[in-house]
Amino acid sequence: MLILFQILFILFAGFAVFNVISRKRSGLLGQRAVFFWIFFWILGVIVVIWPNSSSILAAYLGIGRGTDLVIYISLALLFFLVFKLNVKLDSLNRDLTKIVRKDALDNNE
């Protein structure tokens, strides 16, 4: 019997996968990103439906509980993504500056 949280999570995962596919259709996501995100959400659904699955892996890695493992991985992933986004933003900023500079140099006097 599924508990409410599991149902909600599966619905959300379905929504997220649908989103990934529609982004792919409009050409915003590459092949690799599509695989990664679908894999990610399928993994999420598996862990939510069978919580023991993460415990097995956790025990193997020497971590007490499956939920702890999920939290550790999620945090590491989030930090990594935030860092990548930050670097990306900075490099976009630098590109923007180059354009603004070129415009300023071209349009003087």
Partner 1 sequence: MLVAVVPAYNEEKRIGSVIRDLFEHVDKVLVVDDASTDNTFQEARKAGAIVLKHVLNRGQGAALQTGHEYANIIGADYVIHFDGDGQFSTKDISGAMQHMQEAEVDVLLGSRFLQKKSNIPWFKAKILLPLGRIINNLFSGLKLSDAHNGFRILNRKAFNKIKINQDRMAHATEIPAQIKKYNLKYVEFPIEVKYYEYGQNMAGGFKILRDLLLGKFLR
Q: How far is the CB of 98 from partner 1 (least distance, A)?
A: 9
Residues whose CB falls within 8 Å of the CB of residue 24, separated by 6 or more in sequence, listed in order: 34
CA 70 to CA 88: how far, in whole Å? Answer: 26
User: Is 81 among the residues that bind partner 1 (CB under 8 A)?
Assistant: no
User: Is 90 among the residues that bind partner 1 (CB under 8 A)?
Assistant: yes
Note whether 49 and 70 are within 8 A (CB).
no
User: Is 92 among the residues that bind partner 1 (CB under 8 A)?
Assistant: no
Can you give the binding site for partner 1, defined by CB under 8 A?
86-87, 90-91, 93-94, 96-97, 100-101, 103-105, 107-109
